[in-house]
Chain A
Amino acid sequence: MSAPSVAVEPREHYLNVDYGIRSWLLTTDHKRIGVLYMISITVMFFIGGLFATIIRLELMTPPGDLVTSDTYNKLFTMHGIVMVFFFLIPSVPAVIGNFVLPMMVGARDMAFPKINLLSWYLFVIGAGITLYAIVVGGVDTGWTFYTPFSTTYSNTYVFGSIVGILFAGFSSIFTGLNFIATIHKLRAPGLTWRRMQLFLWSNYATAVIMILGTPVVAISLILVAVERVWHIGIFNPALGGDPVLFQHLFWFYSHPAVYIMVLPAMGVISELVSTFSRKRVFGYEFVAAASIAIAVFGFLVWGHHMFVAGISIYSALLFSIMSYLVAIPSAVKVFNWTATLYKGAISYRTPMLYAFGFIGLFTIGGLTGLFLAALGVDIHVTDTYFVVAHFHYIMVGGTVMAYLGAIHYWWPKMFGRMYPEGWAKISAATIFVGFNVTFFPQFLLGYVGMPRRYHAYAPEFQVLNVMSTAGASILAVGYLLPLIYLIWSLRYGAIAPANPWGSTGLEWQTTSPPPTHNFEETPVVSEEAYAYDKHPEMEFVA
């Protein structure tokens, strides 16, 4: 890409332009909003992680002996709500997307900077309400809020949790709105759609899901609240409602929500694989199109959560075949990333290790999805630990690995400091090992027959549960290490050059950290993304 030459260290950048608390809380700078999001979701991640820790400790022994059943039920519910709505969904889009997306299109900011700030406030208000509901007593419906349990039988803070999630939902809609408007209207001169980096394509697809899907989960949760508070019969048969209707509404959003979590992560992997192989992504058009295909097909597979829930055999057949169709674009992406490595010049920096980890774990997560889409097998494994293992491979093995890879990759750009490479590699390896030891035994546990959401379990399931808990303790160390060394690096890390990885990405063609308006002069794009062959001068300097 032809870009402005790297300027000398500017006197002023987005971080040092003003240090006042007001300058952060009233900022409309997408980079500062990205940082605010990063701090917020990191807090939520460790709260959700704390719940998971207690869950794993409880499950070391078959009887429910550490916490009461009600407490246990609240723990897994709140772990799910916090991790899904307040960490995974905003993770890559709201943190990484906010920070780098406008720079990737060569813009000074998002299309609607004030709405962007509003989105963060809504997120914080939602998180605050949900945390308040947790502190005053918690909620025990499972993050899925199945009716009529959630509307009639649960005596916990369902309403408060729902209100919190609604706020988070609107924050997500506003982020999506900004992504779409920014990508459509603010691309730099010469940046045609086919020259866009794949991170943009995948976040564009994500934004479409956010805007089309999130209102539906908002409606379904409002209906739960309406039935719960005013006893208007919608889902509870005793009031004339239909309990399975809720599942249709809920999964119509919540299955695409899986793609909200994983599509941006795929975008990250495309960037990492290309940069650290110094090559164009193999089959660029197919990877880009696969993002859009996943977003579209993702809306047509919600019924695969309901194969034993009482849907007709014909709708089950339809949802099963659609689920296989949506698997193909995901497979195409994995094959293309692998092929990108071919005849590359591969360096094993931490972000690339996370990318390798992502591809491996996502492959297992995706292929075990074939088991669940297989109607006959799903009957046996649904609602068991097999499902728990499957979605953790996608969401934690996939999304969290990509998120951490992204944090390390763009850390020099964000804060102008390098992270410590040795520690980062140790933690990446720890996370990979810890993750597999935690979640692989759960596949076996699921097929043997242990149902999910069980506070106490039969003795023959203990060995695998102990393995899982052992893995979780390794995983916890792996997650705490980056928290420590990344904060350390803000002060003591090596000063980062403008483009430490020698990337052709537009976001790297400015100083680190960037000035408030991102580029000293508007960049002009004259070639496709990842044109490493035309830029031998772009070299690793870190």
Chain B
Amino acid sequence: MWTDFPLWPARASNFADRVDPLYLFLIAVLVFFSVGIFLTITVFAIKYRRSVHPNAEHIEGSLPVEATWSIIPLAIAMFIFVWSASVYYSYGAPPKDSLRVYGTAKQWMWKFQHPDGQREINELHVPLGRDVAVTLISQDVIHSFFVPAFRVKMDVLPNRYRTVWFRPTRTGTYHLFCAEYCGTSHSGMIGWVVVMEPADYEAWLASGGEGSLASSGEKLFRHFGCVSCHRSDQGARGPDLAGLYGREIHFQDGTTTMADDNYIRDRILGPRQPGRLVAGWQQIMPVFRGQVNEEEMLELIAYVKTLQNPLNVNPNAPIPNEEQRKHNPQVEPQVIRP
């Protein structure tokens, strides 16, 4: 118990080097003001104790004094604000070429999926010196992804993807904690982040995996029958998804949105709000809420992202019969209007 007794967390990411100096500055402010006040009180309490100073002097307030001790703290506070805001800002959008990892949190475990197919539970392997962006979603309640050694924390929500990023700067094995209370085994929802030399990381990546995320997603795409509607030929009853990712989508009410991970997930889960239907298409897509879990959802999205060319007709997919198409004339193949 007494041998391993750290008073400072490991400094293992780019953020540690930004957060720690600010923290030290704040400690300096804390020490300056609290010691100043303690000493002043002690000196006054001794010097003006009743036994030696029985008659208090009547002193009115003083505007210059009040102004001084309002403005100086305010200036220090604003300095801290600007500094801390700039640190906070750097936690924002991950760099463009970040290594992507996808994760789901659920009571009470962390599951991570690497694009090339490696899957892990309560462990996350990342390479040294490379920007890593982890996109996370919760399958149930709110959790929080917390790696003290990286000075990184982000709540993981059950209704949308959020992405946290960091650049590991030191190899080693570091705690991963769930920091948002999530029920019975909250304190057991822990794991390890393993920072490896890039070469070791590549070897680790190659060592396992059951096919890439996108290939798993393709299987699901067929399994759920997505391909029977979302295709480029005459049989299509929904938009061809090629090139969908990152494109601007036009809704019937004239509003637009960007087709990102959250958009695709919301579309699959449904139901869609009236007016927020994609312009040019009948709303016939089933609601998949409760049928697709969050890990499958990540695979489906990974697959959709890979679709760049118009989908070839799957020879095995059922082709809607002519009878049905006559009754649904709107279901003619159309393209998404960009």
Point out residues on A near B: beta carbons under 8 Å. Answer: 64, 69-70, 73, 140, 142, 146-149, 152-154, 236-238, 242-244, 277-280, 282-286, 307-310, 313, 316-317, 320-321, 324-325, 327-328, 331-332, 334-336, 338-339, 341-348, 356, 359-360, 363-364, 367-368, 370-371, 373-380, 382-384, 444, 447-449, 451-460, 462-463, 466, 532-533
- Report whether A277 and B181 are in contact in the complex, using a CB–CB cutoff of 8 Å: no
Question: In terms of DSSP, what is the predominant structure of the interface of chain A?
Answer: helix
In this assembly, does B255 line the interface, its C-beta being within 8 Å of a C-beta of chain A?
no
Query: B residues within 8 A CB of A310?
Result: 155, 157, 160, 162
**Which residues 172-213 of B sit at the A interface, judged by CB distance below 8 A?**
175, 177-188, 190
- Report whether A280 and B4 are in contact in the complex, using a CB–CB cutoff of 8 Å: no
- Report whether B48 and A451 are in contact in the complex, using a CB–CB cutoff of 8 Å: no
A327 to B81, CA, bound (A): 12
In this assembly, does B33 line the interface, its C-beta being within 8 Å of a C-beta of chain A?
yes
Other-chain residue from B38, B78, B88 in contact with A324 (beta carbon distance below 8 A): B78
A122 to B48, CA, bound (A): 47
In this assembly, does B321 line the interface, its C-beta being within 8 Å of a C-beta of chain A?
no
Query: B residues within 8 A CB of A69?
Result: 184-188
Query: B residues within 8 A CB of A286?
Result: 61, 66
A493 to B132, CA, bound (A): 69
Other-chain residue from B19, B70, B154 in contact with A376 (beta carbon distance below 8 A): B19
Measured CB to CB, the nearest residue on chain B to A458 is: B175
Question: B296 CB to closest chain A CB, in angstroms?
Answer: 16
- Report whether B146 and A451 are in contact in the complex, using a CB–CB cutoff of 8 Å: yes
In this assembly, does B41 line the interface, its C-beta being within 8 Å of a C-beta of chain A?
yes
Question: A352 CB to closest chain B CB, in angstroms?
Answer: 9
**Which residues 104-160 of B sit at the A interface, judged by CB distance below 8 A?**
107, 140-142, 144, 146, 148-149, 151-155, 157-160
In this assembly, does B57 line the interface, its C-beta being within 8 Å of a C-beta of chain A?
yes
Question: B13 CB to closest chain A CB, in angstroms?
Answer: 11
- Report whether A371 and B141 are in contact in the complex, using a CB–CB cutoff of 8 Å: no
Known pairs A313-B92, A379-B151; A344 contacts B159 (CB<8 A)? no
Query: Which of A448, A451, A453, A455 lies at the interface centre, i.e. has the most chain B CB atoms within 10 A of its CB?
Result: A451
A444 to B8, CA, bound (A): 8
Query: A residues within 8 A CB of B73?
Result: 327-328, 331
Q: Mark B1-19, 1 if CB is under 8 A from A, else 0.
A: 1101111110000000011
In this assembly, does B222 line the interface, its C-beta being within 8 Å of a C-beta of chain A?
no
- Report whether B56 and A383 are in contact in the complex, using a CB–CB cutoff of 8 Å: no
Query: A residues within 8 A CB of B284?
Result: none
Measured CB to CB, the nearest residue on chain B to A374 is: B84
- Report whether A459 and B81 are in contact in the complex, using a CB–CB cutoff of 8 Å: no
- Report whether A347 and B50 are in contact in the complex, using a CB–CB cutoff of 8 Å: yes
In this assembly, does B26 line the interface, its C-beta being within 8 Å of a C-beta of chain A?
yes
Question: B14 CB to closest chain A CB, in angstroms?
Answer: 12
In this assembly, does B74 line the interface, its C-beta being within 8 Å of a C-beta of chain A?
yes
Query: A residues within 8 A CB of B85?
Result: 317, 320, 375-376
Query: B residues within 8 A CB of A360?
Result: 34, 37-38, 41
- Report whether B8 and A447 are in contact in the complex, using a CB–CB cutoff of 8 Å: yes
- Report whether A342 and B34 are in contact in the complex, using a CB–CB cutoff of 8 Å: no
Query: B residues within 8 A CB of A285?
Result: 61
A to B CB contacts below 8 Å, 10 in the list: A153-B183, A236-B158, A280-B60, A342-B48, A343-B48, A376-B83, A380-B19, A380-B148, A380-B153, A449-B177
- Report whether B44 and A346 are in contact in the complex, using a CB–CB cutoff of 8 Å: yes
Query: A residues within 8 A CB of B187?
Result: 64, 69, 451, 453-457
Other-chain residue from A236, A316, A345, A373 in contact with B50 (beta carbon distance below 8 A): A345
In this assembly, does B311 line the interface, its C-beta being within 8 Å of a C-beta of chain A?
no
A242 to B142, CA, bound (A): 11
Q: Mark B42-67, 1 if CB is under 8 A from A, else 0.
A: 00110011100111111111100110
